């Protein structure tokens, strides 16, 4: 999700002042077909939300979402009658996903909120585009564009996006009260789009909302936090999260130092951000721990295993300084985890970064002797073979993998002789 690189098909903003989308994807045959079907069913749809925001800001667009005044059942029927696969992904809140050539397009009927309780909303369908925009979270997310590229920006989202301002549509406290997830969404969008801090009212509303975060489903929290931590530089938004108490709610009172160091090293070394590696920065002591974090965010088994491995390896060796240390870690945990451990290590930057670089040209060696060698050395089948091999392997690793097969065999004989004498 490299959102920071410029999009080659970036749009132009018309010189008459009104923004116009001229992105290539707007002319994609699949989208044109979809627009035709929806137009026939009840009037032209618009592209909305993230795709409009990112196209206008010159960022890559991956997902295209559409909005329509046509009711969801009618959308589904119109798609099916045109031979387009229609998946009813969220009929209650108005969403049908059209699938063309394997790509999904979310089509959502215009809505307004009837009731909100901080977690869910009961919605009514509407024909009013502005009303639909008004229930969206941030001004940058509330823009839409008609098929000819005319942009509808009811709340100044384009100016905010260009200035790097993440601003709630309407009163921040009221909007957060409708859906507490918007607190975490704020930090996610601030990390990706914010270049200036929010105003005092927003900061206060975010801080006041912390006690309400507990009512959110873990999956929703996880999704926002992971997307937040995947941002190229989540440090400024993280400082705001500390200031408002949101960081402490998420991870306990972890100092910002490890995240700061991690992002700096990633940037020095040209390593792509990885949200799980960033999460690890909050897990390691004095953080919440892998188990608690895994449970809190309902992480997958693979993600939990990753955090647990990093936690135990870092616990065994918190300060990794030399190339030799790096190779030892890579041998035991694989190159990828060793790299992450170096990025996270409590060592001086230059040492950790040098050690990290040393791994780029290193191949994990294969231990040159095996069970059959131990048998030939006179050991009977059974646990003694494993024990002898482990002893030689430790010796080999301690010597930075330098001893060759002959040297390892010699060492094996020595170990066997000692055992037998």
49 binds ligand ATP, rule: CB under 6 A:
yes
Contacts of 147 (CB under 8 A, 6+ apart): 26, 32, 35, 39, 44, 45, 46
Query: Coil, strand or helix: which one is 270?
Result: coil
What's the distance, CA 246 to chain centroid?
18
CA atoms of 237 and 244, how far apart (whole Å)? 11
CA distances from 149 to 11, 31, 36, 145, 203 (A): 10, 13, 15, 6, 35
Contact call for residue 46 and ligand ATP (CB under 6 A): no
How many Å apart are CA 271 and CA 342, to the nearest integer?
12
Q: Is 160 in the site for ligand ATP (CB under 6 A)?
A: no
Q: Which is nearer to ligand ATP, 141 or 347 (CB)?
A: 141
Site string for Mg ion, 55-74 (x = CB under 5 A): --------x-----------
Residue 280: closest CA among 334, 226, 359: 226
Residue among 142 and 250 whose Cβ is closer to ligand ATP: 142
By beta carbon distance, the residue nearest Mg ion is 50
In this complex, which beta carbon is closest to ligand ATP, that of residue 175 or of residue 327? 175
* Residue 160 binding partner per list ligand ATP, Mg ion, none, with a CB distance cut-off of 5 to 8 Å that depends on partner kind: none
Which of residues 136, 277, 327, 333 is near ligand ATP by CB under 6 A?
Answer: 136
β-strand partners of 86? 98
Three-class secondary structure of residue 228 per DSSP: helix
The number of residues that bind Mg ion (CB under 5 A) is: 2
Binder of residue 410, out of Mg ion, ligand ATP, none (CB less than 5 to 8 A by kind): none
Q: Which of residues 288-307 bind ligand ATP (CB under 6 A)?
A: none
Among positions 68, 141, 190, 202, the unique one binding ligand ATP when judged by CB under 6 A = 141
Asked whether position 182 contacts ligand ATP by CB under 6 A, the answer is: yes
Q: At closest approach, how far in Å is the CB of 357 from Mg ion?
A: 36
State which residue, 48 or 206, has the beta carbon closest to Mg ion. Answer: 48
Is residue 265 at the binding interface for ligand ATP, with CB under 6 A as the rule?
no
SS3 19: strand
Nearer to ligand ATP (CB atom), residue 142 or residue 145: 142
For tokens 């910002």, name the residue.
256
Does the protein bind Mg ion through residue 50 (CB under 5 A)? Answer: yes
Q: Is 152 helix (H, G, I), strand (E, B) or coil?
A: strand
- Minimum CB distance to ligand ATP smaller for 144 or for 309: 144
Q: Which of 132, 179, 311, 340 binds ligand ATP (CB under 6 A)?
A: 179
Least distance in angstroms from the C-beta of 181 to ligand ATP:
5
Q: Does 231 bind ligand ATP (CB under 6 A)?
A: no
Neighbour-count burial of 395, counting CB atoms closer than 10 A to its CB (0-12 exposed, 13-18 middle, 19+ buried): middle
Is residue 50 near ligand ATP by the rule CB under 6 A? yes
Nearer CB in complex with ligand ATP: 274/323: 274
> Least distance in Å: CB of 53 to Mg ion?
10
Return the residue of 96, 98, 123, 181 that touches ligand ATP, per CB under 6 A: 181
Give the H or E element holding residue 112: strand 111-116
Tell me 18's DSSP state.
S
Q: Which is nearer to ligand ATP, 69 or 339 (CB)?
A: 69
d(CA 54, CA 62): 9
3-state secondary structure 303-349: HHHHHHHHHHHHHHCCCCCCHHHHHHHHHHHCHHHHHHHHHHCCCCH
Binding residues for ligand ATP, rule: CB under 6 A, are 49-50, 63, 136-137, 141-142, 179, 181-182, 185
């Amino acid at each position: 999700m490299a959102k920071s690189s410029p999009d080659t098909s970036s749009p132009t903003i018309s010189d008459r002042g009104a923004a116009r989308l001229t992105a290539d994807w707007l002319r994609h045959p699949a989208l044109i077909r979809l627009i035709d079907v929806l137009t026939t069913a009840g009037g032209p749809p618009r592209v909305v939300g993230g795709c409009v925001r990112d196209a206008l800001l010159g960022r890559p667009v991956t997902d295209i979402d559409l909005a329509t005044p046509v009711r969801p059942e009618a959308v589904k029927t119109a798609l099916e009658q045109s031979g387009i696969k229609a998946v009813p992904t969220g009929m209650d809140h108005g969403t049908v996903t059209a699938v063309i050539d394997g790509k999904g397009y979310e089509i959502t009927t215009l809505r307004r909120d009837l009731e909100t309780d901080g977690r869910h909303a009961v919605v009514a369908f509407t024909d009013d585009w502005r009303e639909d925009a008004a229930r969206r979270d941030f001004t940058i997310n509330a823009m839409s564009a008609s098929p000819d590229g005319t942009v509808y920006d009811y709340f100044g989202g384009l100016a905010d996006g260009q200035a790097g301002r993440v601003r709630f549509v309407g009163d921040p406290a009221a909007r957060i009260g409708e859906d507490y997830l918007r607190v975490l969404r704020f930090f996610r969008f601030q990390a990706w789009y914010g270049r200036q801090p929010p105003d005092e009212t927003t900061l206060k509303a975010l801080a006041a909302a912390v006690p309400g975060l507990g009512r959110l489903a873990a999956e929703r929290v996880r999704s926002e936090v992971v997307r937040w931590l995947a941002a190229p530089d989540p440090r400024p938004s993280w400082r705001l999260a500390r200031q408002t108490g949101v960081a402490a709610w998420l991870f306990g009172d972890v100092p910002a130092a490890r995240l700061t160091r991690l992002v700096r090293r990633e940037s020095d070394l040209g390593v792509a951000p990885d949200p799980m590696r960033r999460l690890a920065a909050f897990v390691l002591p004095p953080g919440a721990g892998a188990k608690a974090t895994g449970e809190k965010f309902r992480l997958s088994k693979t993600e939990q295993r990753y955090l647990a491995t990093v936690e135990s390896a870092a616990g065994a060796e918190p300060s990794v300084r030399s190339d030799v240390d790096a190779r030892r870690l890579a041998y035991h945990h694989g190159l990828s985890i060793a790299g992450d451990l170096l990025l996270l290590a409590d060592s001086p930057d230059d040492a950790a970064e040098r050690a990290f670089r040393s791994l780029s040209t290193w191949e994990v060696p294969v231990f040159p002797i095996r069970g059959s060698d131990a048998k030939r050395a006179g050991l009977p089948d059974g646990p003694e073979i494993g024990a002898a091999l482990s002893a030689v392997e430790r010796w080999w690793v301690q010597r930075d993998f330098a001893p060759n097969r002959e040297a390892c065999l010699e060492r094996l004989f020595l170990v066997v002789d000692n055992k037998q004498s």
